[in-house]
Amino acid sequence: MDRNTVKKFEKAYLATSFLEHIYIDNDFRLVKSQREATQRPSYTIAVRKR
C-alpha cells in the first residue's frame, strides 16, 4: 500500500464511532452515526421484514 492509503486506514482504525438511536419501535429504527466531530453524520434506517 502507498503512504496515503496507510494513513487513511490508521485514521479509520483509531477512530471512535458515535451512535445515537433517534427512534426505535418494533418495526422501525433510525440511527445517527458519526466517526469524527468534523465528519458529517450519516443516518441509517432499518425496517423489520414480516
At residue 19, the pLDDT reads 86
Torsion of CA 6, 11, 14, 15, to 10 degrees: -150
The owner of cell 468534523 is: 38
pTM here is: 0.59
Order the strands of the 28-34 sheet from edge to edge.
Answer: 18-24, 28-34, 42-47
At residue 49, the pLDDT reads 87
pLDDT tens per residue across span 1-50: 788 888 888 877 777 778 899 999 999 999 999 887 788 999 999 998 88
At residue 24, the pLDDT reads 93
Q: Is the distance from CB of 46 to CB of 33 less than 8 angstroms?
A: no
